Structure 1
Amino acid sequence: KAAIRAGIRLLQQQAGMDDSRIDQVLLAGAFGNYIRRESALRIGLLPDIRVEKIHFVGNAASAGAQMALVSRQARTIASLLARQIEYIEIAHQPVFQSVFTDCLMFP
């Protein structure tokens, strides 16, 4: 819980973005299959947003790979998105340990 929440918080800080600007949170993979949205909010795993903004997308990696296999347009879009992504090593951020420690607590 702490690692996920700390990662979200640090990415938000990097983007200068508070919780009110989050349009949606997508939960993918097995993790999304086994957690209730309300519980994720209650334990502080996710930012303080409305439950309706949290969506489960299943096996997103597999779905994306399938789309790329059958659609040239999907491959083009994926390529464009990949060029826009900025990699951030959050564990090396100077404030990571303090943010992580804060996120260990339950609200």
Structure 2
Amino acid sequence: MTLPDYLEELEGDSDEFSVGISAENVDKLQDLDIIIAYGDETLVKTLQDDPRLGTLPAVQNGSVVVLDNDTPIAASCTPSALSIPATIDEYLSLLGEAADKVK
């Protein structure tokens, strides 16, 4: 798997796990098929109502996986020998539901 050029540019020489993208650059995310985020049941509606984020195909299609902040699956995103078998089925199910909505 390779990163798109724009993500490699954002990453630069950083050894961080993630990069930040400001709101004015959200158009660079138009090719995302699925968005995975922490939040609650209001997050998808918030994304859809946002004038910039609402333009992303993944948001428009509902291909957003929300990892509820107060559930074991959110905590398991820092994987361990115990968290993976405890949550992998639920995580894959959520990803599968989002993938089914990709157009």
Structure number with bigger Rg? 1
- Shared topology, TM-score over 0.5? no
- Name the TM-score class by shorter chain: 0.3 to 0.5
TM-score (norm 1): 0.36
TM-score (norm 2): 0.37
Which structure has more relative contact order (CA 8 Å, sep 6+)? It is 1
